[in-house]
Amino acid sequence: MKNDKYVWHSSSTDYPKIDVHSIRKHEVLKEYLRIYVEIVGGYPYSSMLRLNLVDGFAGGGKYITSSGEIHDGSPLLMIDTIETAATVLSLQKKFKLHSRYYFVEKEPSSAAFLRDQIQKKYNSRLDSSIFVIQDTFQNRINEIISDIKKKGRAHRTIFFLDQYGYSEVSIKVLNKIFRELPKAEVILTFNVDSLIDYMSNTLACRSILDKLNLDFDLASLDEQKKQKRWRENIQFALYKDFKSKTKAEYMTNFFIKSSESTRSYWLLHLSMSPKAKDEMQKLHWQFKNHFVSETKTGLKVFPSYNPKYDIDYTRQSTMTFSSEDEVDNKIKLLSEIPQNLSYTPIKAKEFFLKHINDTPATKDMIYNSISDLSRKKEIKLTTKNDNPKKNKDRINDDDLIFIPRQQIFQF
Ligand SMILES: C[S@@+](CC[C@H](N)C(=O)[O-])C[C@H]1O[C@@H](n2cnc3c(N)ncnc32)[C@H](O)[C@@H]1O
């Protein structure tokens, strides 16, 4: 999909305008990258981190905000954030970062503009560990994966796939990334409302959905559009389908509503690591109302979707990760954790992993609720050896939790 709003011309200072939701998106990306280096580089046994960053839809790298300030695009933002985080870490411990950056941009003038920007700041690394590739992401993904696989063993890679629309990154490509690079993480934008606008019961639309690997039943589209909140219902169905097809084990979604276009898009984070998912989930709470997430509080967020049932009944209320949502989430956790336990002990971490994909709660939130519930004697908490737990404030991953055989009734 071509969007002339985002074309850069060399030697022009007439940068594209950036809107507020894209600035927020950059803030999430920056914070996530900083935390990634801090956590993965901070492991006590590691003094070296080999990390690859792939920006598949890089753009030209400079914008202007509505108040006239210059704002860096994702490529410079990624380099600056990663390199600064590594410098901070190296002041605290013996640490060396080996980073490689791949910036793919299809428009020749935008790619040339980006190259200029990088040359000004990181000339010595250009073409040796920072690559600006003028082509489509689809054309170069295989080559990039093989290049990454030539160095080291872990092949840690963060992909930022900020496509303008929805049709450039298929689930097949995502699955290939996770198959070839199991330690990869992908941050992907998906303009779901544009897809819904385009959807019709035609062969052209079927072929786009096939290309994306989505199964939506287009024959039912007209019927679905007669329902109340049909747009949200279709989004939900697409989301469920997307989630079930991806080979990434963990996924979070910032559900972003652009105030400028009143259109929604998804900012998805996909990974094979529960820790990565948990860190991204924390950011949802940290960034609170800036985004709207299509979830509800508590443990069971997405009951299986069945359009045959009353849609309003199965729908999720929209939450914004506000302070009120935090309180509501806590109340629900306190009632739902015991409901999801049995007399058979389960490790705290195992319980968390069982629910991680269905809840907006972070691990800390779940562990805090476990502490509260065990203090109130609503659940039983023991050490891994079945001894009573003295410090109920600190839950260890291998602590055991279960429902006491004799319930305490409080009057
Ligand atoms: C939304 S802009 C990217 C913004 C950038 N990620 C940022 O945050 O600063 C999308 C960019 O992707 C480029 N593009 C579109 N389709 C592409 C494709 N198939 N492969 C690579 N680049 C593409 C466009 O020319 C445009 O510059």
CATH of region 322-402, choose from 1.10.3470, 2.40.128, 1.10.132, 1.10.10: 1.10.10
Number of H helices, E strands in the chain: 14, 12
pLDDT at 184: 98
Per-residue pLDDT at 136: 98
Residue 131: what pLDDT?
A: 98
pLDDT for residue 215:
93
Domain borders along the chain are 4-320, 322-402
Has this prediction a pTM greater than 0.85? Answer: yes
Confidence of residue 1 (pLDDT cuts 50, 70, 90): low
Assess whether pLDDT exceeds 60 at residue 295.
no
Please state the atom number of ligand 1 nearest to the C-alpha of residue 105: 22
Q: pLDDT per residue over 347-374, tens digit each?
A: 999 999 999 988 889 999 999 999 999 9
Average pLDDT over every residue of 122-146: 98
Please give the average per-residue pLDDT across 174-195, as a whole number.
96
Q: Is the pLDDT of residue 299 over 50?
A: yes
Find the range with the poorest average confidence among 102-106, 142-146, 398-402, 407-411: 407-411
Is the minimum distance from the CB of 117 to ligand 1 under 6 angstroms? no
Structure-token pair, residue 113: 């503009």
Rounded CA separation 48/386 (Å): 39
More confident residue, 358 or 330: 330
Distance 248 CA to ligand 1 centre (A): 23
Examine the pLDDT at 338 and tell me if it is beyond 50: yes
- How many angstroms separate the CA atoms of 128 and 342, rounded? 56
| Confidence check: pLDDT of 407 > 50 | yes
Task: Give pLDDT, residue 293.
Answer: 47
* Cβ–Cβ < 8 Å for 284, 252: yes
Between the CA of 164 and the centroid of ligand 1 the distance, in Å, is: 6
Residue 134 in contact with ligand 1 by CB distance below 6 A: no
Q: Which residue has the higher pLDDT, 49 or 236?
A: 49
Query: Which residues share a beta bridge with 185?
Result: 158, 271
Residues 207, 175 contacting (CB under 8 angstroms) = no
Task: Give the pLDDT mean for 105-109.
Answer: 96
Residue 105 pLDDT more than 60? Answer: yes
For residues 237 and 134, which has the higher predicted lDDT (pLDDT)?
Answer: 134
Nearest to 28 by CA among 200, 386, 285, 212: 285
**Is the minimum distance from the CB of 399 to ligand 1 under 6 angstroms?**
no
Q: Which atom of ligand 1 is nearest to the CA of 59?
A: 27
The residues that bridge with 88 in the sheet, in sequence order, are none
Burial 73-86 (b: 16+ CB within 10 A, else e): bbbbbbbebbbebb
For residue 311, the model assigns a pLDDT of: 32
Parallel, antiparallel or unpaired: strands 264-271 and 250-257? antiparallel
Q: Name the CA radius of gyration of the chain, rounded.
A: 23
Quick check: CB of 72 below 6 Å from ligand 1?
Answer: no
Which SS3 state, helix, strand or coil, does residue 184 take?
Answer: strand
Per CATH, 4-320 and 322-402 having the same topology is answered no
The CATH fold of domain 4-320: Rossmann fold (3.40.50)
Average pLDDT over residues 217-243: 90
Q: What's the mean per-residue pLDDT of the chain?
A: 89
Residue 61 CA: nearest ligand 1 atom is 9
How deeply is 147 buried, as exposed, middle or buried, from its count of CB atoms within 10 A (0-12, 13-18, 19+)?
middle
Pick from 164, 168, 261 the residue to mutate for probing ligand 1's pocket: most ligand atoms within 8 Å of its CB: 164
Ligand 1 atom closest to the Cα of residue 25 is: 8
